Amino acid sequence: LGEKPPARLNEQLSWNLPLQKLRSYIIQSDDLGLPRFGILSVLARRTPFHLYDHKALVGLCSTAFTDGIQIFVNTEFFKSQIPSAHIERINSYHHSMILILLHELSHILFRHHTRMPPQAPPLL
């Protein structure tokens, strides 16, 4: 008889599209036909990007993280970095979020997630 937890990772669905537009920008090629951000662009092609506002995850991370397979971004943090849910063209307002996403991709590339203990550490 307590509060029922949300069934979705992210309840603010209108913000999913801007995240996927930034992912598409990272994946795209430059004017010479080369991956815009090199190997990180190639890696982004097979890496799902997700927003989350689920209480359990918000309590663990207020920014962004990866599990080595996917990238997760806190919805409120994402909204603080992106001026609007409507993105027509990527511009300088989006650079900080692009850098954060590239940073998370670099964690996957360098397998930083393998340094984590096999079981979650105790919370207390």
Q: Residue 1 falls within a domain, yes or no?
A: no
Res 124: pLDDT: 44
The answer to whether 53 and 75 have CB atoms below 8 angstroms apart is yes
Q: Residue 122 falls within a domain, yes or no?
A: no
The stretch 73-78 carries a mean pLDDT of 98
Res 85: pLDDT: 87
Q: Residue 3 falls within a domain, yes or no?
A: no
pTM over 0.95: no
6 — pLDDT class (breaks 50, 70, 90):
low
Q: Residue 36 falls within a domain, yes or no?
A: yes
Q: Residue 75 falls within a domain, yes or no?
A: yes
User: Which residues constitute the domain of residue 78?
Assistant: 13-113
Q: Give percent above pLDDT 70 in the chain.
A: 89
Residue 122 pLDDT > 70: no
Counting the structural domains of the chain, the total is 1
Q: Residue 52 falls within a domain, yes or no?
A: yes
Residue 7 pLDDT > 80: no
Q: Residue 77 falls within a domain, yes or no?
A: yes
More confident residue, 122 or 60: 60
Q: Residue 8 falls within a domain, yes or no?
A: no
The answer to whether 77 and 62 have CB atoms below 8 angstroms apart is yes
The answer to whether 41 and 35 have CB atoms below 8 angstroms apart is yes
Q: Phi/psi zone of residue 72: left (φ > 0), alpha (ψ -120 to 50 degrees), beta?
A: beta
Provide DSSP, the chain: --PPPPSSS-S-GGGHHHHHHHHHHHHSB-TTSSBTTTHHHHHHTT--EEEE--HHHHTT-SSEEE-SS-EEEEHHHHHHH-S-S--SS--GGGHHHHHHHHHHHHHHHTTGGGGS-SSPPP--
